[in-house]
Amino acid sequence: MPLLSIQNLNTVFYSKKGEVKACSNINLDLEQGEIVGLIGETGCGKSVLGMSVLNLLPNNARISGKIIYKDLDLLNLPSNKMRQIRGKEISLLPQSPATSLNPVVKIGSQILEGFQLHRGMKKDIAINSSIKILNLLGLKNSEKNFKYYPHQLSGGMKQRILAAISITGNPSLLIADEPTKGLDALMKAQVVDLLHKLTKETGTSLLLITHDLKVASSLCDEIAVMYSGEIVERGSAEKVLNNPYHPYTQGLLKSMPEKGLHPIKGYSPSLLEKLPGCRFYSRCPLRNNKCNNSEVPYKEIDGTYVRCFGFD
Amino acid sequence: MTLFKNKLALIGLVIIVIIAIGAVFAPLIAPNNPNEQILEQALKHPSIEYPFGTDEFGRCIFSRVLYGSRISLQIGVTITFISSVIGITLGLISGFYGGVIDEIIMRIVDIFLAFPGLILALVVAGLLGPGRLNVIIALSLVGWMGYARVVRGVVLSEKEKEFVENARSLGASDLYIIYHHMLPNVINPVIIMASIGVGYAILSAAGLSFLGIGVQPPTPEWGSMLSSGKVYIQTSPHLTIFPGIAIMITVLAFNFLGDGLRDYLDPRSNIQKIE
Amino acid sequence: MLAFIAKRFLLLIVVLLGVTMMTFLLINIAPGDPAEMIAIARYGLENITADEIEQIRQSEGLDDPLIIQYFCWLGHVLKGDFGRSLITGDPILKEISARFPATMILAFISLIISLLISIPAGIISAVKQNSCIDYLTRTGAMLGTSIPNFWLGLLLILFFSVTLGWLPVFGYGEVRHIILPSITLGTGLAAIITRLTRSSMLEVLNQDYIITARSKGLYEKCVILHHALKNALIPIITIIGMQLGHLLEGTVIVESIFAWPGIGKLLVDSIFARDFAMVQACVLLFAILFVIINLVIDILYMFIDPRIHYKKEG
């Protein structure tokens, strides 16, 4: 049985402009100890998917479908039970280190909260454990840092602090939301190294949400490619990245600098738009009439699931 | 138009229009002469003849409240006009010329802001003596600083833009640049502030009259009506209820309008109320 | 830090000089001859002669140039001598210190009451955004900002004193005497702080660090009261600081309605009696209070917002 199983998930935001369907019919499994990459361009709904698992979306969002974690049905869990899951079972490494730490609470207190809450530790023991974790993550002088406020730390330090916070509850699953967004190459390598350490040292499973294919390829076992609210291709990292089937995945790979920087022409459709067929239709080099008119089913090719008519 | 989708702003505007119509056509609408004393009719409760009842001199309270709107609107609008003109002028000068002039004007603003304005107004109006003009002077004196600060801020950011440099290289005078490039940009924030400012000025002026400093009886002014009515609160509460409602509705309407305008004209603005 | 306080202290002095000069000027252009006022107060309206007025003018230094008079007054004030009331002849300092506590108690209780109401109301309103309770709170706050406090005071008297007979209209010294005045004074502030707390909380609750806090599995109570409120309080404290001045202004009206024996009523009474020396002293006191409040708020700010460092600004 997978650790996390997302079945037929739909997440819709009700806004003044209409219904924004950020996730539609998502199916995704994640095994114990596995690293799954969720890749796609900005605005494709991948972060919303991560937040749906934690049930941390704004009030105007409606989530339907099933999210099974271990044997718990997360979407039907009472809010107090769901709260106990967060941090302790499933935790989050948030997107932007600059804004994700509370500016008016000392670093120490922000780290210790998790220890005291989930492991019932006394303060002094919690401090020792935090220092251990921070050392593991390559932060020296932790005790001094405890007294600081976030604005006194560098971006890299903030990221490490956030990483430390995310594992204080010793979670089985970590959701990392764009951990390398906006970082230079050196920092990126550090974060990849950090995530690698985190998962290997603690045996934590990781759902890595990223738009960076290189980061995904160096960390992930499995990869799911998301486009305009849907998963269009899903399979082992090796296969998806080396031998992609879906024209979108192919385009995405071609747009990497190493592959000659050939961007996909056109824009992805707005999540407000309801389309009868394939959402990639307007940009697809392989399109035919069928694609625009009927719902596209998943097809298994050589262990990879692809949502495309091109392989009939 | 979005402004009309903002219900509160619309309600505010409608109420203000109604009050303004009432003020302009007061002689036609008023059932009685607001100053005519009929002592036999003193302290009558509301009836068909006297919709809001009568006061201690037998004057029709409805007519007096109606005529009072003339005074309050006049005072409120005049004060706001004067203080915004002072504020805009100083703000433009301060922002446009910068340097020592800016420093001096801004320190003066600081000094005025560092002092409770209403108390200063109270002392000014109190020492100058009773009368409409003195209330206007006193409250205008303490109401201009918000405009000056906001206008200066707008001018400072506009000044950096290229078209000012271009205009200048084409030989435009300072006055031309201020008039054509700066002034249009300060209109929106000033309208928002002024709308709320009128309400606040009406409230403050009524407060001064209530204390007996400002507009004096027998002029039908809402604050002074409240003040003379409070003696009869036990037996004839209508003397205090109706003028009070009039003040509150008027102030509320200007607040609604100002809040609505803020959403409409300047959704991301940080302009606070002029207090 | 020290440089900052020094700078503020300098502003304080400039403000006090500016304000007192302005009052001084006003007093001298105001209708009414101070010497004549003193003479009337001392000898009664019927008994005064032009000679006596002239004598007083000389003995009180009233014929000196304005600037000399001002610095003379200032010199006395710096030595702690505020002079005597022109009307009663009592030392002004004595009168003011007797009345000061009443105003402070009134302002303090009003502040406490309005904070106890407004901050919880604002938080609930924000957390339960667009609920019934939110609309109710917002309507109440809107009314509260528009209601004239002098009218509210009269309505409270009408309801609680006249109709129900629960609370006294006038009086000073017991708890029941301060209830109506402090509600009257505190309502406007409460309304403003409620609106501000709501909008500030709404903004903070959308921040990334709130998601971080929730993702840790913290209790919602802790997220809202510890993580969110701490941030939301920063703008709230600024506005409270600015509004405290208005609270002081309000004492003038509220004390007059409820015959509360504080500085506000003293000021109004002195203006009517044209007791210029007393007016001058009251204005000075209000100015000092106002500037001190602003200073305290700025210092408080540093403790609540670790990002502010006045050192750098110097």
The CATH number assigned to the domain holding B114 equals 1.10.3720.10
Lowest-confidence range among B186-195, C207-216, C284-293?
Answer: C284-293
d(CA A214, CA A42): 16
Question: Which residues in chain B touch residue C239, judged by CB atoms under 8 angstroms apart?
Answer: 272
Kindly state whether residue C89 falls inside one of the protein's structural domains: no
Kindly state whether residue A228 falls inside one of the protein's structural domains: yes
Q: Which two tokens stand for residue B117?
A: 């304005």
**Rg (chain A; Cα; Å):** 20
Q: Which two tokens stand for residue A6?
A: 């997302």
Kindly state whether residue A79 falls inside one of the protein's structural domains: yes
Q: Has residue B77 got a pLDDT over 90?
A: yes
Q: What's the pLDDT tens digit per position in A58-70?
A: 888 899 999 999 9
| Residues C236, C196 contacting (CB under 8 angstroms) | yes
d(CA B105, CA C249): 25
d(CA A144, CA A152): 11
- Cβ within 8 Å, pair C216-A113: yes
Owning domain of residue A230: 4-89+171-307
The C residues from 80 to 139 touching A (CB cutoff 8 Å) are 129
Give the helix, strand, coil percentages of chain B, each rounded to 5.
75, 0, 25
Q: Has residue C298 got a pLDDT over 80?
A: no
Query: Average pLDDT for residues B66-72, to the nearest whole number?
Result: 93
- Cβ within 8 Å, pair C215-A91: yes
Q: Has residue B274 got a pLDDT over 60?
A: no
| Residues A151, A94 contacting (CB under 8 angstroms) | no
Q: Domain of A209: which CATH number? A: 3.40.50.300
Q: Give the pLDDT score at B4.
A: 57
C147 and C261 housed in the same domain: yes
Closest to B222 measured CA to CA, from B88, B110, B61: B61
- Higher model confidence: residue C200 or residue C57? C200
Query: Average pLDDT for residues A166-189, to the nearest whole number?
Result: 86
Query: Average pLDDT for residues B150-170, to the nearest whole number?
Result: 83
- Cβ within 8 Å, pair B233-C248: no
Q: Has residue B80 got a pLDDT over 60?
A: yes
Question: Which residues in chain A touch residue C231, judged by CB atoms under 8 angstroms apart?
Answer: 102-104
| Residues B20, B73 contacting (CB under 8 angstroms) | yes
Closest to B196 measured CA to CA, from B261, B149, B263: B261
Q: What's the pLDDT tens digit per position in C215-268?
A: 998 999 999 999 999 999 888 988 888 788 889 889 999 999 999 999 999 999
C49 and C143 housed in the same domain: no
Owning domain of residue B78: 74-214
The residue from C19, C48, C78 where one domain ends is C78
B117 and B225 housed in the same domain: no
Question: Which residues in chain C touch residue B241, judged by CB atoms under 8 angstroms apart?
Answer: 155, 158
Q: Has residue B82 got a pLDDT over 60?
A: yes
Please give the order of strands across the beta sheet that includes A61-69.
A18-30, A4-15, A61-69, A72-73
- Cβ within 8 Å, pair C257-B230: yes
Q: Domain of C212: which CATH number? A: 1.10.3720.10
C25 and C117 housed in the same domain: no
Q: Give the pLDDT score at B2.
A: 55
B98 pLDDT band, cuts 50/70/90, is: confident
Q: What's the pLDDT tens digit per position in A7-38?
A: 999 999 998 888 889 998 899 999 988 999 99
Q: Which two tokens stand for residue C110?
A: 């009003």
How many distinct structural domains can be found in chain C? 2
Burial of A196 (0-12, 13-18, 19+ CB in 10 A): middle
Q: What's the pLDDT tens digit per position in C69-126?
A: 888 888 888 888 888 887 777 888 999 999 999 999 999 999 999 999 999 999 999 9
Kindly state whether residue A119 falls inside one of the protein's structural domains: no
Strand partners, A11: A23, A63
Nearest CB to B211; choose among C19, C268, C286: C268
Kindly state whether residue A134 falls inside one of the protein's structural domains: no
Q: Has residue B210 got a pLDDT over 60?
A: yes
Kindly state whether residue C88 falls inside one of the protein's structural domains: no
Kindly state whether residue C85 falls inside one of the protein's structural domains: no
C69 and C142 housed in the same domain: no
Q: Give the pLDDT score at B275.
A: 29
- Cβ within 8 Å, pair C30-B247: no
B169 and B83 housed in the same domain: yes
C291 and C147 housed in the same domain: yes
B94 and B157 housed in the same domain: yes
Kindly state whether residue A113 falls inside one of the protein's structural domains: no
- Where are the extended beta strands (E) located within A31-162? 35-39, 61-69, 72-73, 90-93
State percent of chain C over pLDDT 90.
Answer: 40
d(CA A223, CA A203): 19
Kindly state whether residue C308 falls inside one of the protein's structural domains: yes
Residues 6+ apart with CB under 8 A from C20: C70, C73, C74, C280, C283, C284, C287
d(CA C235, CA C221): 21
Question: Which residues in chain A touch residue C206, judged by CB atoms under 8 angstroms apart?
Answer: 58
Owning domain of residue C20: 2-78
Q: Which two tokens stand for residue B92?
A: 């433009």
C118 and C245 housed in the same domain: yes
B198 and B235 housed in the same domain: no
ipTM: 0.86
B241 and B137 housed in the same domain: no
Question: Which residues in chain C touch residue A165, judged by CB atoms under 8 angstroms apart?
Answer: 212, 216
B185 and B224 housed in the same domain: no
Query: Average pLDDT for residues B79-94, to the nearest whole number?
Result: 95
Kindly state whether residue A104 falls inside one of the protein's structural domains: no
Q: What's the pLDDT tens digit per position in C158-211?
A: 999 888 888 888 878 788 899 999 999 999 999 999 999 999 999 999 899 999
Q: Has residue A312 got a pLDDT over 70?
A: no
SS3 A103: coil
C172 and C35 housed in the same domain: no
- Cβ within 8 Å, pair C256-B237: no
Kindly state whether residue C258 falls inside one of the protein's structural domains: yes
Question: Which residues in chain C touch residue A130, judged by CB atoms under 8 angstroms apart?
Answer: none
β-pairing, A4-15 vs A18-30, is antiparallel
Kindly state whether residue A107 falls inside one of the protein's structural domains: no
The residue from C21, C43, C78 where one domain ends is C78
> Which subunits sit against C, judged by 3+ Cβ pairs under 8 A?
A, B
How many distinct structural domains can be found in chain B? 2
Distance from CA of C224 to the nearest CA of A (A): 12
Kindly state whether residue C94 falls inside one of the protein's structural domains: no
Q: Has residue B88 got a pLDDT over 70?
A: yes
Distance from CA of C135 to the nearest CA of A (A): 17
Q: Has residue A283 got a pLDDT over 90?
A: no
How many distinct structural domains can be found in chain A? 1
B86 and B208 housed in the same domain: yes
Query: Average pLDDT for residues B167-196, to the nearest whole number?
Result: 85
d(CA C309, CA C303): 10
Residues 6+ apart with CB under 8 A from C146: B199, B203, B248, B251, B252, B255
| Residues A71, A11 contacting (CB under 8 angstroms) | no
Q: Has residue A140 got a pLDDT over 90?
A: no
Measure the CA dihedral C95/C100/C106/C109, to 10°: -150
B206 and B235 housed in the same domain: no
> Which subunits sit against A, judged by 3+ Cβ pairs under 8 A?
C
C268 and B CB contact within 8 Å: yes
C292 and B CB contact within 8 Å: no
pTM above 0.80, yes or no: yes
d(CA A220, CA A206): 9
Q: What's the pLDDT tens digit per position in B4-46?
A: 567 888 899 999 999 999 999 988 888 888 888 888 887 888 8
Kindly state whether residue C189 falls inside one of the protein's structural domains: yes
C199 and C50 housed in the same domain: no
B87 and B170 housed in the same domain: yes
- Residue of C134, C209, C229 to mutate, testing the A interface (most A Cβ within 10 Å of its Cβ): C209
Strand partners, A35: A206
> Within 13 Å of residue C226, how many CA atoms lie on the same side as its CB?
14
Instruction: Check residue C131 and report its DSSP letter.
Output: S
Kindly state whether residue A262 falls inside one of the protein's structural domains: yes
Kindly state whether residue C266 falls inside one of the protein's structural domains: yes
